[in-house]
Amino acid sequence: MIKDRGYEQEIDKAKDSLSDFQERGIDAIGGNALEFMDGFLTPDEIAESDLRAALISELIKARKEKGISQKKLEELSGVKQPVIARMEKGITSPQIDTILKILIPLGKTLAIVPFEK
Protein backbone atom coordinates (compact mmCIF):
# COMPACT_ATOMS: atom_id res chain seq x y z
CA MET A 1 0.00 0.00 0.00
CA ILE A 2 1.20 3.51 -0.76
CA LYS A 3 1.72 5.53 2.37
CA ASP A 4 2.67 9.16 2.69
CA ARG A 5 5.86 9.47 4.73
CA GLY A 6 4.79 12.80 6.22
CA TYR A 7 1.49 11.28 7.30
CA GLU A 8 3.28 8.40 9.02
CA GLN A 9 5.66 10.84 10.74
CA GLU A 10 2.72 12.84 12.10
CA ILE A 11 1.09 9.67 13.43
CA ASP A 12 4.39 8.72 15.10
CA LYS A 13 4.65 12.21 16.64
CA ALA A 14 1.10 11.92 17.98
CA LYS A 15 1.89 8.53 19.51
CA ASP A 16 5.10 9.91 21.08
CA SER A 17 3.22 12.88 22.52
CA LEU A 18 0.53 10.61 23.90
CA SER A 19 3.17 8.39 25.51
CA ASP A 20 4.84 11.44 27.02
CA PHE A 21 1.53 12.67 28.45
CA GLN A 22 0.79 9.24 29.89
CA GLU A 23 4.27 8.99 31.47
CA ARG A 24 3.78 12.38 33.14
CA GLY A 25 0.27 11.48 34.26
CA ILE A 26 -1.34 14.17 32.14
CA ASP A 27 -4.76 13.50 30.67
CA ALA A 28 -4.73 14.56 27.03
CA ILE A 29 -8.03 15.53 25.49
CA GLY A 30 -8.63 12.79 22.98
CA GLY A 31 -5.75 10.86 24.49
CA ASN A 32 -7.25 7.59 23.42
CA ALA A 33 -8.16 8.84 19.95
CA LEU A 34 -5.69 6.56 18.18
CA GLU A 35 -6.96 3.55 20.11
CA PHE A 36 -10.53 4.64 19.44
CA MET A 37 -9.86 5.00 15.72
CA ASP A 38 -8.18 1.60 15.56
CA GLY A 39 -11.25 0.06 17.20
CA PHE A 40 -13.77 2.15 15.32
CA LEU A 41 -12.46 1.92 11.77
CA THR A 42 -12.23 -1.29 9.82
CA PRO A 43 -8.94 -2.21 8.12
CA ASP A 44 -10.56 -1.37 4.76
CA GLU A 45 -11.59 2.07 6.02
CA ILE A 46 -8.08 2.71 7.31
CA ALA A 47 -6.63 1.62 3.95
CA GLU A 48 -9.05 3.91 2.13
CA SER A 49 -8.09 6.82 4.38
CA ASP A 50 -4.39 6.12 3.83
CA LEU A 51 -4.88 6.07 0.06
CA ARG A 52 -6.85 9.33 0.15
CA ALA A 53 -4.12 10.98 2.24
CA ALA A 54 -1.41 9.72 -0.13
CA LEU A 55 -3.29 11.03 -3.17
CA ILE A 56 -3.84 14.47 -1.67
CA SER A 57 -0.23 14.60 -0.51
CA GLU A 58 0.96 13.85 -4.04
CA LEU A 59 -1.30 16.57 -5.46
CA ILE A 60 0.09 19.12 -3.01
CA LYS A 61 3.64 18.00 -3.75
CA ALA A 62 3.11 18.29 -7.52
CA ARG A 63 1.56 21.76 -7.16
CA LYS A 64 4.44 23.00 -5.01
CA GLU A 65 7.08 21.45 -7.32
CA LYS A 66 5.54 23.39 -10.21
CA GLY A 67 5.53 26.55 -8.08
CA ILE A 68 1.80 26.97 -8.65
CA SER A 69 -0.37 28.68 -6.03
CA GLN A 70 -3.86 27.44 -5.32
CA LYS A 71 -5.20 30.56 -7.05
CA LYS A 72 -3.12 29.88 -10.17
CA LEU A 73 -4.26 26.25 -10.13
CA GLU A 74 -7.84 27.55 -10.07
CA GLU A 75 -7.13 29.53 -13.24
CA LEU A 76 -5.48 26.57 -14.95
CA SER A 77 -7.95 23.87 -13.89
CA GLY A 78 -11.27 25.65 -13.50
CA VAL A 79 -11.59 24.27 -9.96
CA LYS A 80 -12.30 27.07 -7.48
CA GLN A 81 -9.49 27.90 -5.05
CA PRO A 82 -11.63 27.29 -1.93
CA VAL A 83 -12.42 23.80 -3.23
CA ILE A 84 -8.69 23.16 -3.75
CA ALA A 85 -7.94 24.44 -0.24
CA ARG A 86 -10.61 22.24 1.38
CA MET A 87 -9.35 19.25 -0.57
CA GLU A 88 -5.73 19.88 0.42
CA LYS A 89 -6.70 20.26 4.08
CA GLY A 90 -8.62 16.99 3.95
CA ILE A 91 -11.90 18.70 4.81
CA THR A 92 -13.62 17.25 1.76
CA SER A 93 -13.15 14.20 -0.41
CA PRO A 94 -12.95 15.41 -3.99
CA GLN A 95 -14.84 13.75 -6.79
CA ILE A 96 -12.81 12.01 -9.47
CA ASP A 97 -13.71 14.73 -12.01
CA THR A 98 -12.23 17.37 -9.72
CA ILE A 99 -9.02 15.39 -9.26
CA LEU A 100 -8.67 14.92 -13.02
CA LYS A 101 -9.18 18.65 -13.66
CA ILE A 102 -6.43 19.44 -11.16
CA LEU A 103 -4.01 16.79 -12.45
CA ILE A 104 -3.96 18.08 -16.04
CA PRO A 105 -2.22 21.44 -15.38
CA LEU A 106 0.14 19.67 -12.99
CA GLY A 107 1.22 17.36 -15.80
CA LYS A 108 0.06 14.30 -13.86
CA THR A 109 -2.37 11.45 -14.39
CA LEU A 110 -3.91 8.67 -12.34
CA ALA A 111 -2.87 5.07 -12.66
CA ILE A 112 -4.64 2.07 -11.23
CA VAL A 113 -2.07 -0.35 -9.89
CA PRO A 114 -2.13 -3.23 -7.43
CA PHE A 115 -1.08 -2.46 -3.88
CA GLU A 116 0.20 -4.63 -1.10
CA LYS A 117 -1.98 -5.25 1.93
What spatial distance separates the first Cα and last Cα of the chain, rounded to whole Å?
A: 6
Q: Give φ, ψ of 64 to 5 degrees.
A: -70, -40
Burial string for 46-63 (b: 16+ CB within 10 Å, else e) reads eeeebeebbbbbebbebb
Helix, strand, coil percentages for the chain (3-state, nearest 5) = 65, 0, 35
Any idea what DSSP says for residue 67? T
d(CA 63, CA 61): 5
From first to last of the 117 residues of the chain, give the pLDDT tens digit: 445 566 677 777 777 766 666 676 655 555 556 666 666 778 788 788 888 888 999 999 999 999 999 999 999 999 999 999 999 998 888 899 999 999 999 999 998 888 776
**Res 1: pLDDT:** 44
Assessment of whether the complete model's pTM goes beyond 0.75:
no
